[in-house]
Amino acid sequence: MPTPSSGVDPAYFLMLAAVLFTIGTVGVLTRRNPIVIFMCIELMLNAVNLTFITFSRVLNTLDGQLFAFFVMTVAAAEVAVGLGIIVSIFQQRNNIDVDEVSLLRG
């Protein structure tokens, strides 16, 4: 029995990944809320994972799936550390605007 996505052209998956990555990039560049920025970064990482999985399926290897697993692991660690920093800054300043957080340097 064939899998449901066996008849779908891989170009569709790559186009979807490009659209997701573009939406994430626009969100990172235009938003000021760090939580929304983290969500957009996660969207970009998921687009990269979709690309890895697509090429892994096309080439009949497990390399892309392995890379996607490592990307998900790093993304989980990034979210944990990033949210911890955001909560710490919010407790000190009661504001999490990205422009004001940059004033904490030096």
Range of the domain at 46: 33-98
Residue 3 lies in a domain: no
The number of distinct structural domains making up the chain is: 1
Residue 6 lies in a domain: no
List own/partner pairs for 5-14 with CB under 8 A and 24 or more apart. 10/54, 10/55, 10/57, 10/58, 13/50, 13/51, 13/53, 13/54, 14/51, 14/54
What would the pLDDT profile of 77-105 be if each residue is shown by its tens digit? 988 898 888 888 778 777 766 666 655 55
What would the pLDDT profile of 40-89 be if each residue is shown by its tens digit? 999 999 999 999 999 999 999 999 999 999 999 999 998 889 888 888 87
Residue 4 lies in a domain: no
Burial zone of 54 (CB within 10 Å; 0-12 exposed, 13-18 middle, 19+ buried): buried
Q: What are phi and psi of 8, to 5 degrees?
A: -90, 135
Residue 68 lies in a domain: yes
Residue 43 lies in a domain: yes
